[in-house]
Copies of this chain bind each other. A is one copy, B any other.
Amino acid sequence: MSKALIIDDEQQMRRLLRMVLEARGYEVSEAADGQLGLQEAAFHRPDVVLLDLGLPGLNGIEVLKRLREWTDVPVLILSVRDQETVKVEALELGADDYVTKPFSTAELLARLDVIQRRRFTRQSPEITAGLLTLDLLHHEATLVDAPVKLTPTEFALLKVLAEHAGRIVTQNQIIRQVWAGQSSDASEGLRVHINHLRKKLGETGPRIVNEPGIGYRLEAE
Protein backbone atom coordinates (compact mmCIF):
# COMPACT_ATOMS: atom_id res chain seq x y z
CA MET A 1 0.00 0.00 0.00
CA SER A 2 1.31 3.43 -0.90
CA LYS A 3 1.81 6.05 1.78
CA ALA A 4 0.77 9.66 1.16
CA LEU A 5 1.68 12.71 3.19
CA ILE A 6 -0.53 15.81 3.17
CA ILE A 7 1.05 19.13 4.12
CA ASP A 8 -1.62 21.82 4.32
CA ASP A 9 -2.64 24.29 6.99
CA GLU A 10 -6.39 24.18 6.36
CA GLN A 11 -7.98 21.45 8.34
CA GLN A 12 -10.91 21.20 5.98
CA MET A 13 -8.63 20.60 3.04
CA ARG A 14 -6.71 17.94 4.92
CA ARG A 15 -9.93 16.16 5.81
CA LEU A 16 -11.12 16.22 2.21
CA LEU A 17 -7.83 14.93 0.88
CA ARG A 18 -7.64 12.22 3.48
CA MET A 19 -11.07 10.94 2.51
CA VAL A 20 -10.26 10.89 -1.17
CA LEU A 21 -6.90 9.25 -0.72
CA GLU A 22 -8.04 6.65 1.74
CA ALA A 23 -10.86 5.71 -0.58
CA ARG A 24 -8.19 5.11 -3.17
CA GLY A 25 -6.25 2.87 -0.83
CA TYR A 26 -3.53 5.21 0.38
CA GLU A 27 -2.23 5.16 3.92
CA VAL A 28 -2.46 8.83 4.84
CA SER A 29 -0.53 11.02 7.26
CA GLU A 30 -0.94 14.75 7.74
CA ALA A 31 0.97 17.83 8.80
CA ALA A 32 -0.44 21.30 9.47
CA ASP A 33 2.71 23.28 8.71
CA GLY A 34 6.05 22.97 6.97
CA GLN A 35 8.12 22.12 9.98
CA LEU A 36 5.85 19.26 11.00
CA GLY A 37 5.66 18.21 7.37
CA LEU A 38 9.38 17.70 7.13
CA GLN A 39 9.42 15.70 10.35
CA GLU A 40 6.59 13.53 9.13
CA ALA A 41 8.32 12.96 5.81
CA ALA A 42 11.51 11.85 7.53
CA PHE A 43 9.65 9.59 9.89
CA HIS A 44 6.97 7.98 7.71
CA ARG A 45 8.87 7.96 4.40
CA PRO A 46 5.82 8.58 2.21
CA ASP A 47 5.64 7.42 -1.39
CA VAL A 48 4.07 10.69 -2.46
CA VAL A 49 3.74 14.14 -0.90
CA LEU A 50 0.88 16.59 -1.43
CA LEU A 51 2.23 20.01 -0.63
CA ASP A 52 0.30 23.25 -0.25
CA LEU A 53 2.25 26.28 -1.39
CA GLY A 54 0.45 28.75 0.84
CA LEU A 55 1.73 27.59 4.18
CA PRO A 56 2.17 29.85 7.17
CA GLY A 57 5.69 30.08 8.55
CA LEU A 58 8.00 27.89 6.51
CA ASN A 59 6.46 28.28 3.07
CA GLY A 60 5.88 25.57 0.48
CA ILE A 61 8.87 26.39 -1.67
CA GLU A 62 11.14 26.23 1.34
CA VAL A 63 9.68 22.88 2.39
CA LEU A 64 10.22 21.49 -1.08
CA LYS A 65 13.81 22.70 -1.10
CA ARG A 66 14.57 21.02 2.21
CA LEU A 67 12.79 17.87 1.11
CA ARG A 68 14.86 17.68 -2.04
CA GLU A 69 18.04 17.80 -0.02
CA TRP A 70 17.66 14.22 0.98
CA THR A 71 14.88 12.57 -0.99
CA ASP A 72 13.37 12.57 -4.46
CA VAL A 73 9.95 11.41 -3.37
CA PRO A 74 7.31 12.56 -5.86
CA VAL A 75 5.74 15.88 -4.82
CA LEU A 76 2.38 17.14 -6.02
CA ILE A 77 1.89 20.86 -5.48
CA LEU A 78 -1.45 22.25 -4.35
CA SER A 79 -1.76 25.91 -5.26
CA VAL A 80 -4.37 28.56 -5.78
CA ARG A 81 -4.65 30.33 -9.08
CA ASP A 82 -2.38 33.20 -10.07
CA GLN A 83 0.65 31.80 -8.38
CA GLU A 84 2.28 31.08 -11.71
CA THR A 85 5.69 32.31 -10.68
CA VAL A 86 5.73 30.19 -7.58
CA LYS A 87 4.49 27.16 -9.46
CA VAL A 88 7.28 27.47 -11.97
CA GLU A 89 9.74 27.84 -9.15
CA ALA A 90 8.38 24.71 -7.53
CA LEU A 91 8.60 22.70 -10.73
CA GLU A 92 12.18 23.78 -11.20
CA LEU A 93 12.98 22.75 -7.68
CA GLY A 94 11.87 19.26 -8.57
CA ALA A 95 8.16 19.16 -7.89
CA ASP A 96 6.51 16.60 -10.14
CA ASP A 97 3.22 18.27 -10.96
CA TYR A 98 0.64 20.62 -9.55
CA VAL A 99 -3.12 21.04 -9.26
CA THR A 100 -4.89 24.34 -8.82
CA LYS A 101 -7.42 24.79 -6.06
CA PRO A 102 -10.24 24.19 -6.33
CA PHE A 103 -9.67 20.90 -8.07
CA SER A 104 -11.81 17.89 -8.86
CA THR A 105 -10.91 14.74 -6.97
CA ALA A 106 -10.78 12.91 -10.27
CA GLU A 107 -8.08 15.23 -11.53
CA LEU A 108 -6.12 14.93 -8.33
CA LEU A 109 -6.15 11.16 -8.44
CA ALA A 110 -5.25 11.10 -12.09
CA ARG A 111 -2.21 13.27 -11.53
CA LEU A 112 -1.19 11.19 -8.54
CA ASP A 113 -1.33 8.10 -10.68
CA VAL A 114 0.84 9.68 -13.31
CA ILE A 115 3.61 10.85 -11.04
CA GLN A 116 3.60 7.57 -9.17
CA ARG A 117 3.84 5.60 -12.35
CA ARG A 118 6.37 7.91 -13.95
CA ARG A 119 8.69 7.25 -11.10
CA PHE A 120 9.64 3.78 -12.12
CA THR A 121 8.44 3.41 -15.62
CA ARG A 122 11.03 2.89 -18.24
CA GLN A 123 13.17 5.93 -18.64
CA SER A 124 14.57 7.33 -21.82
CA PRO A 125 17.90 9.04 -22.05
CA GLU A 126 17.15 12.71 -22.07
CA ILE A 127 18.78 16.08 -21.72
CA THR A 128 17.14 18.81 -19.69
CA ALA A 129 17.83 22.51 -19.81
CA GLY A 130 15.46 24.52 -17.72
CA LEU A 131 11.94 23.89 -18.93
CA LEU A 132 13.17 22.18 -22.04
CA THR A 133 13.58 18.44 -22.36
CA LEU A 134 15.05 16.48 -25.23
CA ASP A 135 14.18 12.80 -25.41
CA LEU A 136 17.03 11.35 -27.39
CA LEU A 137 15.48 7.95 -27.93
CA HIS A 138 12.22 9.18 -29.36
CA HIS A 139 13.61 12.35 -30.90
CA GLU A 140 11.01 14.39 -29.09
CA ALA A 141 11.39 17.82 -27.58
CA THR A 142 9.06 19.16 -24.92
CA LEU A 143 8.82 22.62 -23.47
CA VAL A 144 6.90 22.80 -20.20
CA ASP A 145 5.28 19.49 -21.07
CA ALA A 146 4.11 20.78 -24.44
CA PRO A 147 5.63 19.02 -27.42
CA VAL A 148 7.76 21.10 -29.78
CA LYS A 149 8.04 19.90 -33.34
CA LEU A 150 11.62 19.98 -34.55
CA THR A 151 13.18 18.89 -37.80
CA PRO A 152 16.13 16.47 -37.64
CA THR A 153 18.76 19.19 -38.04
CA GLU A 154 17.08 21.45 -35.53
CA PHE A 155 16.97 18.62 -33.04
CA ALA A 156 20.63 17.82 -33.52
CA LEU A 157 21.56 21.46 -33.19
CA LEU A 158 19.53 21.97 -30.04
CA LYS A 159 21.01 18.79 -28.63
CA VAL A 160 24.53 20.14 -28.97
CA LEU A 161 23.53 23.40 -27.32
CA ALA A 162 21.63 21.68 -24.52
CA GLU A 163 24.47 19.31 -23.76
CA HIS A 164 26.59 22.34 -22.96
CA ALA A 165 23.75 24.41 -21.52
CA GLY A 166 25.06 27.60 -19.95
CA ARG A 167 28.41 27.32 -21.68
CA ILE A 168 29.57 28.65 -25.01
CA VAL A 169 29.72 26.29 -27.97
CA THR A 170 31.86 27.49 -30.84
CA GLN A 171 30.53 27.50 -34.35
CA ASN A 172 33.09 24.90 -35.33
CA GLN A 173 32.01 22.56 -32.58
CA ILE A 174 28.41 22.89 -33.64
CA ILE A 175 29.14 22.34 -37.29
CA ARG A 176 31.33 19.36 -36.61
CA GLN A 177 28.67 17.64 -34.55
CA VAL A 178 25.57 18.51 -36.53
CA TRP A 179 26.98 18.24 -40.01
CA ALA A 180 29.46 15.48 -39.26
CA GLY A 181 31.01 13.98 -42.34
CA GLN A 182 29.48 16.44 -44.72
CA SER A 183 31.72 18.60 -46.78
CA SER A 184 29.39 21.45 -47.65
CA ASP A 185 29.96 24.79 -46.04
CA ALA A 186 27.32 24.73 -43.36
CA SER A 187 28.35 27.89 -41.59
CA GLU A 188 25.82 29.79 -43.65
CA GLY A 189 22.92 27.53 -42.81
CA LEU A 190 23.73 27.56 -39.14
CA ARG A 191 22.37 31.07 -38.74
CA VAL A 192 19.14 30.06 -40.42
CA HIS A 193 18.61 27.05 -38.19
CA ILE A 194 19.40 29.04 -35.08
CA ASN A 195 16.74 31.44 -36.24
CA HIS A 196 14.17 28.67 -36.64
CA LEU A 197 15.01 27.28 -33.25
CA ARG A 198 14.57 30.62 -31.55
CA LYS A 199 11.16 30.99 -33.15
CA LYS A 200 10.04 27.54 -32.08
CA LEU A 201 11.27 27.96 -28.54
CA GLY A 202 9.44 31.26 -28.33
CA GLU A 203 9.29 33.36 -25.21
CA THR A 204 8.88 30.41 -22.91
CA GLY A 205 11.95 28.45 -23.73
CA PRO A 206 15.58 29.05 -22.91
CA ARG A 207 17.25 31.82 -24.93
CA ILE A 208 19.92 31.08 -27.47
CA VAL A 209 22.37 33.94 -27.16
CA ASN A 210 25.10 34.74 -29.61
CA GLU A 211 28.66 35.39 -28.56
CA PRO A 212 29.93 37.44 -31.48
CA GLY A 213 32.83 35.89 -33.30
CA ILE A 214 32.78 32.78 -31.16
CA GLY A 215 29.57 30.85 -31.11
CA TYR A 216 26.30 30.34 -29.27
CA ARG A 217 25.19 29.62 -25.76
CA LEU A 218 21.95 28.16 -24.45
CA GLU A 219 20.95 30.12 -21.38
CA ALA A 220 20.24 27.91 -18.40
CA GLU A 221 17.90 29.36 -15.85
Contacts and interface: CB of A to CB of B under 8 A. Distances in A.
A111 B121 CA distance: 8
B168 A88 contact: no
Given A88-B136, A114-B122, A139-B211, 7 more contacts: A84-B127, A84-B163, A88-B137, A98-B125, A114-B120, A138-B168, A151-B213
Contacts of A10: none
A136 B212 contact: no
Contact of A140 (B98, B124, B140, B168): B168
Interface stretch (A31-39, A60-68, A89-97): A89-97
Interface string A18-58: 00000000000000000000000000000000000000000
B214 A152 contact: yes
B123 A114 contact: no
A169 interface: yes
Contacts of A85: 136
A140 B123 contact: no
A36 to B, nearest CB: 25
Contact of A168 (B96, B126, B139, B213): B139
Chain A interface bracket (under 10, 10 to 19, 20 to 34, 35 or more) = 35 or more
| Chain A interface mostly | mixed
B170 A91 contact: no
A67 to B, nearest CB: 16
A117 to B, nearest CB: 10
Given A136-B88, A137-B91, A151-B212, A120 B111 contact: yes
A215 interface: yes
Contacts of A196: none
B98 A123 contact: yes
Interface string A91-109: 1100011100000000100
A91 B169 contact: no
B151 A167 contact: no
Contact of A139 (B97, B124, B170): B170
Contacts of A13: none
A139 to B, nearest CB: 5
